[in-house]
Amino acid sequence: MKKVKIYVTLRESVLDPQGSAVMGALHTMGYDEVADVRIGKYLELQVDDSERELDVIVREMCEKLLTNTVIEDYRYDVEEAVSK
Partner 1 sequence: MKFAVLVFPGSNCDLDMYHAIKDELGEEAEYVWHDTKDLSGYDGILLPGGFSYGDYLRCGAIAQFSNVMNEVKKAADAGKPVLGICNGFQILTEAGLLPGALIRNKNLKFMCRTIELTVENNNTLFTSDYAKGQVINIPVAHGEGNYTCDAETLASLKANNQIVFTYTNDNPNGSVEDIAGIINERGNVLGMMPHPERAVHELIGGTDGLALFKSIVKQWRESHVSHA
- The site for partner 1 (CB under 8 A) is made up of 10, 13-15, 17-18, 21, 65-66, 68, 70-71
Task: Please say which residue, 56 or 65, places its beta carbon nearer to partner 1.
Answer: 65
Structural contact between residues 74 and 6, judged by C-beta atoms closer than 8 angstroms: yes
CB of 6 to partner 1, least distance (A): 12
The residue among 64 and 84 lying less far from partner 1, judged by its C-beta, is 64
Give the C-alpha distances (Å, rounded to integers) separating 27 from 16, 32, 33: 17, 5, 8
Measured from the CB of residue 34, what is the shortest distance to partner 1 in angstroms?
A: 18
Angle at 73 between CA 67 and CA 74, to 5 degrees: 75
